[in-house]
Amino acid sequence: MAGALGGLISLPAWANGWSTETVQSTQHFLSINQADQLAELVETIIPVTDTPGAKALNVHQFVQKMVADCYDKTTQENLQKGLDSLDDLAKASFNKTFAEGDTAQRTALLTQLSKSTDTAQKDFYSLVKNLTIRGYMTSEYVMTNLTHYQFIPGHYYGCVPVKAKTASQPK
């Protein structure tokens, strides 16, 4: 609905920040190989089950965009390095590339990364994980189909019994 409305309103020149061109013009700072690794990584963090996983929801593109546009150079480089090292780590631990590993092998590798004593490695993983969760939870699919976000609640009830509702709405 909002999309349709957005299309009807012609935005003044100063609002160009919201046009589709700028969405596309963001520099893709990851190589194709790095981008592929990132897609595998986000899918491992939130895989397809009876609902789509992170990759199908384009969360890897969201992660790349966030790091490109909102983070500093050091963080960007650390992401690149982290993605480059993924296959070496995979080979060392299960003798295959990261993409070739099965779920258990990949999961074990990520658990290992989360406990790494190498700060760069640990930062790399926690950045990707946090942004993956954020991108997934705020994706249109999840917000409309799974967490039932209400754009216009139309009310505020101060005291309702807990049973009636499990989660509060994100802003």
Partner 1 sequence: MSYLNIDAQALNTYDAIVIGSGISGGWAAKELTGKGLRTLVLERGRDVRHVTDYPTTNMQPWEFEHRNQLKREVREANPIISKCYAFYEGTEQFFVKDAEHPYIQEKPFDWIRGYQVGGKSLMWARQTQRWSDFDFEGPARDGFAVDWPIRYADIAPWYSYVEKFAGISGNKDGLATLPDGEFLPPHEWNCVEKHFQQKVAGKYKDRHVIMGRAAHISQAKPIHFQQGRAQCQHRTICERGCPFGGYFSSNASTIPWAAKTGKMTLRPNSVVHSIIYDEKKGRATGVRVVDANTKQMTEYYARVIFLNAAALNSNLVLLNSTSHRFPNGLGNDSGVLGKYAAFHNYRAGISAEYDGNLDSTTDGRRPNSPYIPRFRNVHKQEMGFLRGYAAGFSAGRGSRSDQSGVGADLKESLLNPKLGGWYVGSHMMGETIPKESNYLALDASQKDPFGIPQLKISIAYDDNDDKMVKDYQEQLTEMFTEAGFKNIRVRDSHASPGLDIHEMGGVRMGKDPKTSMLNKWNQLHAVKNVFVTDGACMTSTSTQNPSLTYMALTARAADYAVKAMKQGLV
Task: Provide the binding-site residues for partner 1, judged by CB under 8 A.
Answer: 1-3, 5-6, 9, 11-12, 14-15, 17-18, 22-23, 26, 44-47, 49, 51, 53, 65-66, 69-72, 103, 107, 110-111, 129, 133-140, 142-143, 146-147, 149-162, 164-171
The residue type at 105: Q
Q: Which residues, at least 6 apart from 125, have a Cβ–Cβ distance to it below 8 Å? A: 82, 110, 113, 114, 116
Question: Least distance (Å) from partner 1 to the CB of residue 27?
Answer: 12
Q: Output 34 or 125, the one with its CB closest to partner 1.
A: 125
Instruction: Quote the Cα angle for 40-130-75, to 5°.
Output: 85
Question: Least distance (Å) from partner 1 to the CB of residue 41?
Answer: 10
Closest by alpha carbon to 76, among 105, 115, 34? Answer: 34
Q: Output 127 or 142, the one with its CB closest to partner 1.
A: 142
Question: Least distance (Å) from partner 1 to the CB of residue 73?
Answer: 9
Q: Output 32 or 167, the one with its CB closest to partner 1.
A: 167
Closest by alpha carbon to 41, among 118, 120, 101, 115? Answer: 101
- Residue 54 CA to residue 51 CA, distance in Å, equals 10
Question: Least distance (Å) from partner 1 to the CB of residue 160?
Answer: 5
Helix (H, G, I), strand (E, B) or coil at 87: helix
Q: Output 117 or 168, the one with its CB closest to partner 1.
A: 168
